[in-house]
Amino acid sequence: MCDDGNTSGKDKGLSRGLTNYGDRGFSIYLRRSFASSMGYSRQMLDRPIVGIAHSASGFNNCHRHFPEMIEAVKRGVLAAGALPVEFPTISLGEVFLSPTSLKFRNLMSMDVEEMTRAQPMDSVILLGGCDKTVPAQLMGAASAGLPSIQLVAGPMSTSRHRGERLGACTDCRRFWQRYRAGDVDDRGIDEVEKRLASTSGTCAVMGTASTMAALAEAIGMMPAGSAAIPAVDADRLRMAEETGRIAASLIGTDKTPKKIITEKALENGVRMLMAIGGSTNAVIHLAAIAGRLGLKLDLKRMNEISDTTPVLVDLKPTGSAYMEDLHAAGGIPAVMRELKHLLHLDCETITGETIGERIDAADSWVDRNIVRPIDSPIRESGGLLAVFGNMAPRGAIIKRSAADPNLFEKTGRAVVFNSLQDLAARIDDPDLDVTADDFLVLQHAGPLSDAAMPEAGYIPIPAKLARAGVKDMVRISDARMSGTAYGTIVLHVAPDAASGGPIGLIRNGDRIALSVKDHSIRLLVSDEELERRRGERKVEKRPAPRGYDMLYRDHVLQADEGCDFDFLKSAPS
């Protein structure tokens, strides 16, 4: 609280953590004096402080409207009697970062954690949206341990191209694939380029950003109904204002992320992930958030949840609609109502009510074209599945809701690319020895590789096959895939090739067996032969890194542990 109970004189004001300059009185006097230079009245400085950790940046198109949102948040905080103070943190604009945004998620989480702790504030609003920003904020807040509430940018609105609806970024891929196949000409692709992303907000489909927003709501860290409100809608600003009010009400309570994100809340998150056909990236992020709280995301338990959770939401990339349609259809509360008998209803949320109470309060009108009833789902089982086997002893992920079921039980011949460079150099080579029945394998694109686990798992169909009409093939890698992509794609193979995982031992012509039914991916090569290959493996000499590269290389964990840094995890609770 603002004054540890002493409400008069020099001791009052400017929030917690004030006594580290000389004596307590001097510390408050000095800070208040410097804060006064920003034009605050004494009346304002006597209020407790709500920090607003925001990730606006000129390199983040998704957060373009944050100045307006911050203004609305501040209104809410002030109306509730606290003082709002915004501060910038690292921003991660998904498409502008090299080698990949995931590499910097942990850096952003450290920024959020340390600045929340170091600066005087009594509760904090986490304002993010673009793919990695929400997980980074939740990870940082989980470690900082202050009462915290998430607020998201909201999704982009769709636009039109020759009568067709367009939304980033499933349509980005769809049109690029058509362009590669020669169905769309140069002028057509130019027009599409200008229309794909035409408002502020996060990608318009159920990609990683929308998935993480839905999960933040399902685990109770955001107000009900807030995940899917479009970025440009006035409701988004009203929700920002409301979030400000709630953040002020959290001051002095024990509503820290640890209180809200319990093991049961995480399971509710996994349930939601399955029902919305959410992004594969969310598995990594949930594992990392869990790790910050001494919890573990168990992939076998995830499979049990997946097998008992139908896909209910008809959104791209697995279905046909967009996030704005989900909002109009009833949003995440409508999905939760359908899942009621599968959720832990007693989980507490940041707004005070339990998940069960939120469901009871949800509007009963739902657009059934977008949110299906539980007894008439889009798919009987969940969108994501972990597969295991000698090729992925610590698991790999397949998004079965975005894959071709005809390829689920299949054995194929490996066509191997040993790096991203090798893939780029050969995938479209007319002489590449490849057929539609082969399995494309990409190595050295995992967390420990120089590429730092990019979204390269969506390996393009070789040009000559694409031109012949092939739309999908089994593709395997230790990389990730964009939440907006689709195909029969096995990702996050752990351990990765760079850390000595068996995926690095696959050679051209090896046979690989995929069975979605058995949750398995097996390399049909004898243990002796694999041992022999392991002995022959040349450990590539890489230059000694410095700075953040050094921290990253020395401490990044594998995908099943969320690719967090080992020293940021919390001891098991």
Residue 204 CB contacts under 8 Å (≥ 6 apart), including other chains:
155, 156, 157, 158, 167, 168, 169, 322, 323, 324
Q: Binding residue for ligand FES (CB under 6 A) from 3, 86, 94, 242?
A: 94
- Rounded least distance, CB 455 to Mg ion, Å: 7
- Rounded least distance, CB 208 to Mg ion, Å: 4
Q: Which of 294, 140, 312, 300 is nearest to 218 (CA)?
A: 312
Q: Binding residue for ligand FES (CB under 6 A) from 95, 328, 463, 470?
A: 95
Cβ-based nearer residue to Mg ion, 262 or 318 = 318
Q: Which stretch binds Mg ion (CB under 5 A): 210-218, 224-232, 328-336, 483-491?
A: 483-491
- Rounded least distance, CB 154 to ligand FES, Å: 11
Own/partner pairs, 336-339, CB within 8 angstroms, 24+ separation: 336/218, 336/272, 336/362, 337/362, 337/364, 337/366, 338/275, 338/312, 338/371, 338/372, 338/373, 338/374, 339/271, 339/272, 339/275, 339/309, 339/312, 339/374
Choosing among ligand FES, Mg ion, none, which partner's interface includes residue 482 (Cβ < 5 to 8 Å by kind)? Mg ion
**Angle, CA of 490, 502 and 455, to the nearest 5°:** 35
130 near ligand FES, rule: CB under 6 A: yes
Nearest-Å Rg of the Cα atoms of the chain is: 24
Provide DSSP, 469-494: T----EEEESS---TT--SSEEE--S
Q: Which of 366, 380, 398 is nearest to 515 (CA)?
A: 398
Sign for the pseudo-dihedral over CA of 543, 547, 550, 552: negative
> Which helix (H) or strand (E) segment is 127 a member of?
strand 123-128
- Rounded least distance, CB 209 to ligand FES, Å: 4
> Which helix (H) or strand (E) segment is 274 a member of?
helix 263-275
Choosing among Mg ion, ligand FES, none, which partner's interface includes residue 276 (Cβ < 5 to 8 Å by kind)? none
Choosing among ligand FES, Mg ion, none, which partner's interface includes residue 202 (Cβ < 5 to 8 Å by kind)? ligand FES
Number of residues forming the site for Mg ion (CB under 5 A) = 5
Binding flags for Mg ion, 80-119, as an x/- string (CB under 5 A)? ----------------------------------------
Cβ-based nearer residue to Mg ion, 206 or 505 = 206
> Which helix (H) or strand (E) segment is 385 a member of?
strand 384-389
Q: Residues 208 to 227: which contact ligand FES by CB under 6 A? A: 209
Percentages helix, strand, coil for the chain, rounded to the nearest 5?
40, 15, 45
Cβ-based nearer residue to ligand FES, 15 or 279 = 279
User: Which tokens is 166 given?
Assistant: 């367009």
Distance between CA atoms of 498 and 109, rounded to whole angstroms?
24
Cβ-based nearer residue to Mg ion, 133 or 249 = 133
Choosing among ligand FES, Mg ion, none, which partner's interface includes residue 265 (Cβ < 5 to 8 Å by kind)? none
Choosing among Mg ion, ligand FES, none, which partner's interface includes residue 279 (Cβ < 5 to 8 Å by kind)? none
Contact 91, 56 (CB under 8 A): yes
Q: 389 to each of 209, 395, 511, 516, 522, how far by Cα in Å?
A: 30, 7, 14, 12, 5
Cβ-based nearer residue to ligand FES, 22 or 67 = 67
Distance between CA atoms of 26 and 416, rounded to whole angstroms?
66
Binding flags for Mg ion, 192-231, as an x/- string (CB under 5 A)? ---------------xx-----------------------
Distance between CA atoms of 386 and 400, rounded to whole angstroms?
10
Q: Binding residue for Mg ion (CB under 5 A) from 482, 491, 505, 506?
A: 482
**Angle, CA of 76, 82 and 83, to the nearest 5°:** 90
Cβ-based nearer residue to ligand FES, 483 or 502 = 483
Residue 397 CB contacts under 8 Å (≥ 6 apart), including other chains:
280, 283, 384, 385, 386, 387, 490, 491, 492, 559
Choosing among ligand FES, Mg ion, none, which partner's interface includes residue 130 (Cβ < 5 to 8 Å by kind)? ligand FES
Q: Residues 121 to 140: which contact Mg ion by CB under 5 A? A: 131
Q: Residues 166 to 205: which contact ligand FES by CB under 6 A? A: 169, 202-203
Beta strand pairing status for 409-417 and 511-515? antiparallel
**Angle, CA of 381, 292 and 344, to the nearest 5°:** 40
- Rounded least distance, CB 482 to ligand FES, Å: 8
Number of residues forming the site for ligand FES (CB under 6 A) = 10
- Rounded least distance, CB 322 to Mg ion, Å: 15
Cβ-based nearer residue to ligand FES, 212 or 386 = 212
- Rounded least distance, CB 233 to Mg ion, Å: 22
- Rounded least distance, CB 7 to ligand FES, Å: 44
In the chain, count H helices and then E strands.
20, 14
Q: Residues 279 to 308: which contact Mg ion by CB under 5 A? A: none
- Rounded least distance, CB 94 to ligand FES, Å: 4
131 near ligand FES, rule: CB under 6 A: yes
- Rounded least distance, CB 172 to Mg ion, Å: 10
Q: Residues 47 to 76: which contact ligand FES by CB under 6 A? A: 62
Choosing among ligand FES, Mg ion, none, which partner's interface includes residue 420 (Cβ < 5 to 8 Å by kind)? none
Distance between CA atoms of 102 and 119, rounded to whole angstroms?
26
User: Which tokens is 225 given?
Assistant: 């109904």
Query: Given the rule CB under 6 A, which residues bind ligand FES?
Result: 62, 94-95, 130-131, 169, 202-203, 207, 209
Query: Given the rule CB under 5 A, which residues bind Mg ion?
Result: 131, 207-208, 482-483
